[in-house]
Structure 1
Amino acid sequence: MTYNEFKDKIFKLAKEKGFEAQIKYKKGYEFSLRLANGKMDEYKDANSSSISLKVLKNGKIGSASTTIFDDPEKLFEEAITNYEIIDSNEENMFHDGSGEYIDMQSYYGEFEKLSVKEKMEKLNKMHEVASKDEKIMMVPMTVYAHQTTELAMANTLGLDKTYKGDGGYAYLSVVAKDQSPRSGFWYGIAPLPEKLNVEDIANKAVKEAKAKIGAKSVKSGKYRIIFRSDVFASLLSTMLIPMISAENAQKNMSPLKNKLNEKIGSEILTIKDVPYYEGSLSNAPFDSEGVPTTEKDIIKNGEFKTFLYDLKTAKKENKKSTGNAAGRGISPINLLVEPGEESFDELLKKLDNGIIITSLEGLHSGANPISGEFSLGAQGLKVENGKIIGGVEQITVSGNFLEILKKVEKVGKDIWISFSSTIVPSVIISEIDIAGNE
């Protein structure tokens, strides 16, 4: 049975029983190669698929899922059974397919055209580049992979949309020689093979490890710092994304509640949610509820402009969904910090004396997006007179995230695209508390 035949049968059953119905079909393909210490450790070439059904009546939903198009009646009956046992006062709804959907190219198919031999060559090249550096004693893990996702959503109210996207990623970890081994890690993502530079990824992982050789702590105090782009991306994912969820605000779990149109950050800081960004693997024309995605300012010149909504949270405030439903939560499609004009080297000169934070540890235990407070182990690089002079370790950075946003002094143009759909440049923070043991 085809998807369309299965869908039509489900919708017919729903109408006969007085229900609205929504079906989501997701099909995925994943290919990956992994080396462990230079030897083949994993080969994955796998397809996956899932079909989920929701039935809706009087604001209440019942759900069921399967992996094959063989018995629509059974799936429908399971959803009805689950509907009958649900006890909830929350009002649910479906989107009717209205609105303007962005036409975007997110599927290229170029990774799938590569032979296994060509992919192996790229994997081995990455390992070879990292291994040949005399300071590197081990390359524990090397990975080259790509994936394709197809999604179709339809319901009895008129929604009927499809989406297909693909892209690849590569990463490796290395260990450099020192009194105690120094690790380095780097990754890259790209929609096209030619934009996934495995040599560059290998060299950056090596650079990360070598920069830690001879690293020392610093005296406790207040420092000007650079949050490097990849680190600032991690901090925003952990702290800001939960804060801008309308659901969290409605549950009094966001410090941004009642702060709409207030200054919460530096005037040079603008953060958007964008449905499409070239190079991102998170692009999407609609969210997990089928609502069209749109570009919107979240923070504009330091001023907080909007929470992100799904259908349910929007209904509670008589608003429209912002197209940010993400499974069981709310999330931006691509969280973009608008870049500035300075390169990373120019930021170094502007920093003059301070520390570049190159990694944060314990983000899920030491950072609290409800209060905004964080205290995190960190590593970095010491900067004097605009030049890097050595590694920094055994330090803790702490503060309040919203206060940090107000202390953004410069925004670079060295954009980093992360796995977590954050697209971020490096920033200079005028002051932050650092605890060391020197």
Structure 2
Amino acid sequence: MSKVQTIANYTKEKAEKLNIKKYDIYGSTVEQTSVQVFQGEPKQVKASQKSSVIVRVWNDDNQIGVTSTTDVDAKGIEAALKTAYEASHFGVKENIPDFSEKAKSPLPEVKVELGQQTPPAELIEKLLKVEDDLLNAHSAIASVPYNGISEQEIERFYLNSEGALREENRTYATIYLYTTTEQEGKKPRSGGSYKIAPSLPKLDIDSCFQETVTKTISHLNYQPIKSGKYRVVFSPEAFLSLLGAFSNLYNAQSILDKQSLSIPESLGEKIASPLLSVSDNALHPANISGETFDGEGTPTQNLPLIVEGVLTNFLHSSVTAKRMNAQPTGNASIGAKVSISPNFFHVFRGQQPSQTYNLEEAENVILIDDVQALHAGVNSLQGSFSLPFDGWLINKGEKTSIEAATVAGDFLDLLKSIIFVEEEAEITPSGVCPRIWVDSLSITGQ
């Protein structure tokens, strides 16, 4: 008998004892080992096991109570059921959450590769070698202040009183590297990279090292830039950062709360260049930490959000789906309130472009590698942004690092100003995306 089946059995027993007829439980356990180093010595070694369980109970008046616990044994579940039932008498009486109508639908079949845990000493050894190689890669690289290798094993489950039963396991390993430079008479510069894989043997440490060195060195000979309007090319990571910052555009809960750039009638509207298509695809093969069901037990899927510039779908929970006469999409998290978030973006070319562009021939184009201060520089309700960035001025393939600058604009205008979506995509932690060319944006230099 599986672990989740055992939990389901004694949960049913305890619920009957408490005369509770309707309930559901979502839980996860994360085991993680992580290491950091500094100047040839281990800086931090952490091993942790964290459990989180959300229990929801409906009373006879259909009001809902929610509680959380870290105990998944019979005694812990009984206490959580009792607490949630008591809380239900103070629950909301409008737009009450319910079970997802897809909580018992078949889950998508995905190939899962599980790795084995590595002793911390081996993780430290690998990271110390990478740090030493970075410090010797170029005379200007003075330190690697931010670095780490970690391994995680995640178990998730969902069950409810109507017989829904879900469980899955995942493992993955990550590495991040971030260097800083010291040169006389010059400001410190930096560069970094991040990689993820199902297991440590599959982790591309060499690629992470090379990207970190290349980015760091490319920023050494920086120059100031004049303020003005420039044609801009967003790196995959930079464009996905903006796409995530303005996710209220297709978040059904934000739309119902009137905290969105969209309204319910926005579906079918042209909001971007026909060159652009975007999906939320938790099942993409590149999504190492992909999940097959959400916090409500709804199967995840490949959901088109923007198709050739047209807003096609919203992200839904069971609550928003009911209110908007739609279907839950597998993007919900349960708690005191059901929330919605994207899983894994897949950005790709929509219509074929009438004209192509490349950085080897482009003149006076800005390549934005990374945008910063998203928490302060984005007004998601107005659609505006003003963000400092790392990047280069490109002239016929020659890259000159920009000393300091910000990019500003309106996100909806940006989407409509896309003039080219490159064909080759890159894998990032938040999605798969190619470089995106935008006709004109305001750049403020020194």
TM-score by length of 2: 0.90
1:395 aligns with 2:400: no
Kept in 1: contact 2:26–2:296 (CA 8 A)? no
Q: Aligned ranges for residues 55-94 of structure 1 at < 5 Å?
A: 55-57=57-59, 58-68=61-71, 69-71=73-75, 72-94=77-99
Q: Is residue 437 of structure 2 the alignment partner of residue 428 of structure 1?
A: yes
Aligned pair partner of 2:145 in 140, 144, 155? 140
CA distance in 2, matches of 1:207, 1:38: 22
Using the TM superposition, give the Cα deviation of residue 310 of structure 1 relative to its aligned residue in structure 2, in angstroms.
0.2
Q: Distance in 2 between matches of 1:54 and 1:320?
A: 21
State whether residues 173 and 198 of structure 2, in contact with CA within 8 Å, keep that contact through their aligned partners in structure 1. Answer: yes
Q: How does 1:355-434 map to 2 (within 5 A)?
A: 355-385=366-396, 387-419=397-429, 421-434=430-443
Whether 2:168 is the aligned partner of 1:163: answer: yes
**Does the 8 Å contact 1:21/1:155 carry over to 2?**
yes
Identical amino acids, percent of aligned pairs = 26
Q: Equivalences for 1:85-234 in 2 at 5 Å?
A: 85-95=90-100, 97-106=103-112, 108-112=113-117, 114-133=118-137, 134-178=139-183, 179-234=186-241
**Pair 1:295–1:2, CA change in 2 (3 A):** closer
How far off is 1:51 after superposition? 2.9
How has the CA–CA distance of structure 1 residues 251 and 338 changed in structure 2, closer, same or farther, with 3 Å as cutoff?
Answer: same
Paired letter, 2:232:
I
Displacement after TM superposition at 1:78 (Å): 1.2
Q: Is the 8 A contact 2:41 2:128 kept in 1?
A: no
Q: After TM superposition, which residue ranges in structure 1, 4 or more long, deviate above 4 angstroms? A: 339-342
* Equivalent residue number for residue 15 of structure 2: 14
In structure 2, give the amino acid aligned to 1:318. Answer: N
**1:231: how far off?**
1.2
Post-superposition Cα deviations, 1:134-172, rounded to whole Å, max 9, x if no partner, equal 221112132111111111111111211111112111011
Map residues 304-319 of structure 1 onto 2, 5 A cutoff: 304-319=311-326
Distance 1:254 1:215 in 2: 38
Provide the C-alpha distance between the structure 2 equivalents of 1:165 and 1:100, rounded to a whole number of angstroms: 19
- For 1:368, the aligned partner's letter is N
* Alpha-carbon offset, residue 15 of structure 1: 4.5
Q: What code does the residue aligned with 2:124 have? A: M
Counterpart secondary structure, 1:64: strand
Q: Is the 8 A contact 2:417 2:439 kept in 1?
A: yes
Task: Quote the Cα distance in structure 1 between the aligned partners of 2:231 and 2:82.
Answer: 61
Rounded to whole Å, the distance in 2 between the matches of 1:193 and 1:337 is: 27
Measured after TM superposition, the shift of residue 356 of structure 1 is 0.6
The worse-fitting range, judged by mean Cα deviation, of 299-308 and 70-79 is 70-79
Q: Could you tell me how far 1:213 is from its partner in structure 2?
A: 1.7
Contact 2:63/2:96 (CA < 8 Å) preserved in 1? yes
* Structure 2 CA distance for aligned equivalents of residues 2 and 262 of structure 1: 46
Task: Give the match's secondary structure for 1:333.
Answer: coil
SS at match of 1:167: strand
Q: Letter of the 1:164 partner, please give it.
A: N
CA-CA distance at 1:333 after TM superposition: 1.9
Q: Where does the alignment leave 5 or more consecutive residues of structure 2 unmatched?
A: none
**Residue matched to 1:247:** 253
Of the structure 1 ranges 50-59 and 39-48, higher mean CA displacement relative to structure 2 is found in 50-59
Q: Which piece of structure 1 moves more, 85-94 or 396-405?
A: 85-94
Matched residues in 1 for 2:383 and 2:322: separation? 27
12, 36, 39: which is aligned to 2:38? 36
* Distance (Å, rounded) in 2 between the aligned partners of 1:395 and 1:142: 26
Structure 1 residue aligned with 2:309: 302
Q: What is the CA–CA distance in structure 1 between the aligned matches of 2:108 and 2:7, rounded to whole Å?
A: 27
Corresponding letter in the other structure for 1:396: T
Q: Relative to 1, partners in 2 of residues 1:66 and 1:313: Cα closer, same or farther, differing over 3 Å? A: same
Task: Judge conservation of contact 2:5–2:165 (CA < 8 Å) in 1.
Answer: no
CA contact (8 A) 1:177 1:213 kept: no
Tell me the alpha carbon deviations over residues 180-225 of structure 1, each in whole angstroms, 9 at most, x when there is no partner.
Answer: 2112222111223344221221222222222222312211111111
Cα distance in 1 between the residues matched to 2:348 and 2:277? 6
| Distance (Å, rounded) in 2 between the aligned partners of 1:377 and 1:13 | 55
Q: How many equivalent residue pairs?
A: 430
Q: 1:46 offset after TM fit, Å?
A: 2.1
Deviation at 1:359, TM superposition (A): 2.2
In structure 2, relative to structure 1, the CA distance for the partners of 1:339 and 1:119 (3 Å cut) is farther
| 8 A Cα contact 2:37 2:124, kept in partner | no
- Contact 1:310-1:325 within 8 A present in 2 as well: yes
What SS class does the counterpart of residue 158 from structure 1 fall into?
A: coil
Q: Is the 8 A contact 2:240 2:345 kept in 1?
A: no
8 Å contact kept, 2:174–2:197: yes
Deviation at 1:436, TM superposition (A): 1.6
State how far apart, in whole Å, the 2-side matches of 1:364 and 1:351 are.
Answer: 32
- The one-letter amino acid paired with 1:100 is P
Aligned residue identity for 2:300: T
Q: Contact 1:229–1:414 (CA<8 Å) still a contact in 2?
A: no
* Maintained 8 Å contact 1:339/1:415: no
Shift of 1:380: 1.1
Aligned-partner Cα distance in 2 for 1:197–1:21: 43
Deviations along 1:301-353, one digit per CA (max 9) or x if unpaired, are: 011101110011111112221121134421222111025899xx973135343
Partner letter of residue 388 of structure 2? G
TM-score of the aligned structures, taking structure 1 as reference length: 0.91
Closer/same/farther in 2, CA of residues 339 and 118 from structure 1, 3 Å limit? farther
| Aligned-partner Cα distance in 2 for 1:65–1:221 | 52
Moved more, 351-360 or 80-89: 80-89
